[in-house]
A and B are shown apart, each in its own frame.
Chain A
Amino acid sequence: GAVVSQHPSWVICKSGTSVKIECRSLDFQATTMFWYRQFPKQSLMLMATSNEGSKATYEQGVEKDKFLINHASLTLSTLTVTSAHPEDSSFYICSARGDAGGSGNTIYFGEGSWLTVV
């Protein structure tokens, strides 16, 4: 099946610094990528939807200046958490939808990235 890779899997950063998380579709072109946040024992909360070459669409309550999303190519989207604070510590997961074709209606998830802000 399709593979979505996320990097890094784990990251610890100091409060006030920025951290970037990458999401790559390895064997298909992802026209749309989604970024989620998941707190322990909670479901996934959609943060934003990004389409290649255009600005991301953020969900209500998500600060676009804090969570910068770039989808520069059909295989790569990045999430940058700027000026991170301990409350930003969470599990961040990306997912990707393929272009029209076999994987067009299927959404695949990355392995997730654990962010701890100290």
Chain B
Amino acid sequence: QKEVEQDPGPLSVPEGAIVSLNCTYSNSAFQYFMWYRQYSRKGPELLMYTYSSGNKEDGRFTAQVDKSSKYISLFIRDSQPSDSATYLCAMKGSNYKLTFGKGTLLTVNP
């Protein structure tokens, strides 16, 4: 079993839809959870950073962490074509080494 599992998609939604992206993990040592957005041929861009279980909201983005289930989610409200990208979940313990999911390719159709 991989440490971080993420459905690679692809996921295609109409503009304005609510998008739900998820990752599961197996390593209980992971304490910090991140979501990165990566446009084609570009470096990852940090979207959300969470530490504890619960929800964190930033504009149209909501990150959710459930440590008891080892499950994290990213919700995108009112999705826009500009949100089309690959979304990577990442997590780390105390040693700052990030473990990434495979990434989910999202396309938002106008």
Contact B42 A108 (CB under 8 A): no
- Please, how many angstroms separate the alpha-carbon atoms of A46 and B44 in the complex? 14
Chain A interface, DSSP helix/strand/loop, else mixed: strand
Contact A6 B41 (CB under 8 A): no
Contact A34 B43 (CB under 8 A): no
Contact A114 B46 (CB under 8 A): no
Whether, in the assembled complex, A42 has its beta carbon less than 8 Å from a beta carbon of chain B, the answer is: yes
In the assembled complex, how far is the CB of residue A24 from the closest CB belonging to chain B, in whole angstroms?
13
Contact A107 B98 (CB under 8 A): yes
Q: Which residue of A lies closest to B101 (CB)?
A: A43
- Contact residues of A with B, CB < 8 Å? 1, 4, 6, 32, 34, 41-44, 46, 49, 91, 93, 95, 97, 105-112, 114
Question: Would you give 30 A-B contacts (Cβ < 8 Å), ordered by A?
Answer: A1-B46, A4-B43, A32-B96, A34-B98, A42-B102, A43-B100, A43-B101, A43-B102, A43-B103, A44-B88, A44-B98, A46-B97, A49-B97, A91-B41, A93-B43, A93-B44, A95-B98, A105-B32, A105-B49, A105-B51, A106-B46, A106-B49, A107-B34, A107-B46, A109-B43, A109-B44, A109-B46, A111-B42, A112-B41, A112-B43
